Structure 1
């Protein structure tokens, strides 16, 4: 069985970063947990019964226990599509989180309060002056995280001069 596992590892290794966990001093459950804790996105399980049936079992980390039996002849392609799916799901979750935790402040007091309360990313119209950034940083405890390239109309929330950008501020943890 170990020789066949090495062959499958080599086959997958041509397209993906693969690690065969052939340690005998640990149980499968211990190994599964360890690799999940390390953040491995996709685990390929291969046991004696799986080999007899000509299959492997895919277990995506984000699937909460969902196990997918896969014929060995389809394994490389299914690993590819599953990894793409994991990436898409993670990106969608991250975008949703970002959208839910981003707000554009209407005035200076709101900006300072939201940044102090660690409400996520707070957009602040900014004129580009270092003094305005320093004042907001001092008053809120936050710091700029990103300055999108899109220009914006309206006054700087700190000094009232014309703003060129919305700067997203946040506090560190």
Structure 2
């Protein structure tokens, strides 16, 4: 069964936010960094040392810049890219096959085989299927309303690619 869909500008920006979400390992690393930062600030305050404060302030500044880029600038740039990328604005088709996911557009038709999928992610609105660390296909979960086997896709991704990252 071939399900048809379009990716809107809002969809594309939301998918970029899902893509920017830190992985489990990156989240753990961020938590460790925050704990070390807080401990260094507390220890510095407890012993009366002012030598750690520049490090703490610089780290907080860098963290704020990363958050700004991830959650504000990236979606803004995604909207701009969407408006310039005419191919993304066309209607797509998706069909679940035994060996992969077939993706169709007016100018291309190809099958993403499970062996070529690097990783996958999902949100309440999308399934993102990564072919490279920053290159992914966006499949809206609304295709299930047309009879697309979304649960089957997720089961096959888990089986052939591994758990969501």
For the criterion TM > 0.5, the same-fold answer is: no
Q: Considering fraction of residues, name the structure with more strand.
A: 2
Q: Considering fraction of residues, name the structure with more helix.
A: 2
Larger radius of gyration: 1
TM-score by length of structure 1 reads 0.28
Which structure has more relative contact order (CA 8 Å, sep 6+)? It is: 2
TM-score by length of structure 2 reads 0.29
